[in-house]
Amino acid sequence: MKLFDVLIKDVISEGVYDPNIFKAIILAGGPGSGKSYVAGKTMQGHGLKVVNSDQQFEYLLDKLKMSKNMASADMSKYDPVRARAKDMTSKKMTNYIDGRLGMIIDGTGADYEKIKRIYIMLKNIGYDVYMVFVNTSLEVAHERNQKRTRTLPKDIVDQSWRAVQNNIGKFQNLFGGGNMIIVDNNNASDNVLSKIWKKIRGLLKKPITNIIAKKWISNQLVQKSKR
C-alpha cells in the first residue's frame, strides 16, 4: 500500500474518535482583517484541521522563489501558482471530509455563493457548520495589508473589503444568529478574544444535531466492533 493511501486510511479511521467530528467553522474576512491572528488566538487547542489555500500559495511562492510583494506586480503570473495551491487545498479538504474531521475553512467571504455551496455540501454530509466573521474598517485593512508579508494591490483590498461587507447580512441569514460569531478586530484586546475563544469552545462542545452525522457515527462504531 502506498504511503498516501496509508495516510488517507489513518485520516478516515481517526474520524469517529475525533472530539470535533462533524464540526466545521468557516472563517471569513477581507485582506488585512487579521483572520490568521484571530484564528490563532481563538481556535487553537481545539484540534481542528485547517483548510487554507493561502498557506499553500505562500508555500509555493517560497518554493518557486517568487516575490510576495504583489502590490505592484503583474498579477497574471501568480494565477497558475494560485490555481495549484487551490487544487492542493481542495484535495486536503476532501481527505478531512472523508474522515468527517473537525475543520477550520479559511476564506475571505467575498464570494457569497461559494460559501453557500460549501455550507450546503457540508450540511448534506452531516456537518454542523458555523461562521466566525472577522470585521475591520477599510482604513485598518489597508494599514495591515501594507504590513503583511504578502502585500496585495490597493484596488484588490478595496474590492474584497466591499464584497465582504455586502455579504454580512446574507451570512447571518444563512448560518443563523446562534451559529455566527462576528469579531470586531479593529483593535481587539486579549480579553475580547478570550471571550470569543470561549464562545467557539461552546459551539464545538454542543452535541451534534445533524441526523446524517449521527447515523454515520453509529455505522462506523458498528463496523469497528466487528473487526
CA-angle at 36, arms to 170 and 177, nearest 5°: 30
- Work out the average pLDDT over 29-50: 88
CA-angle at 20, arms to 28 and 45, nearest 5°: 75
- Work out the average pLDDT over 121-139: 95
pLDDT band at 58 (very low <50, low <70, confident <90, very high): confident
pLDDT score recorded for residue 158: 93
Place of cell 517560497: 62
- Name the CATH superfamily housing domain 3-225: P-loop containing nucleotide triphosphate hydrolases (3.40.50.300)
- Work out the average pLDDT over 23-46: 90
pLDDT tens track for 169-194: 999 999 998 899 999 999 888 898 99
- Work out the average pLDDT over 130-143: 93
More confident residue, 31 or 119: 119
Q: CA-CA distance, 150 to 125, in Å (whole number)? A: 35
For residues 138 and 158, is the Cβ–Cβ distance under 8 A?
yes
- What the block records as the C-alpha cell of 3 is 504511503
pLDDT score recorded for residue 7: 38
State pTM to two decimals: 0.84
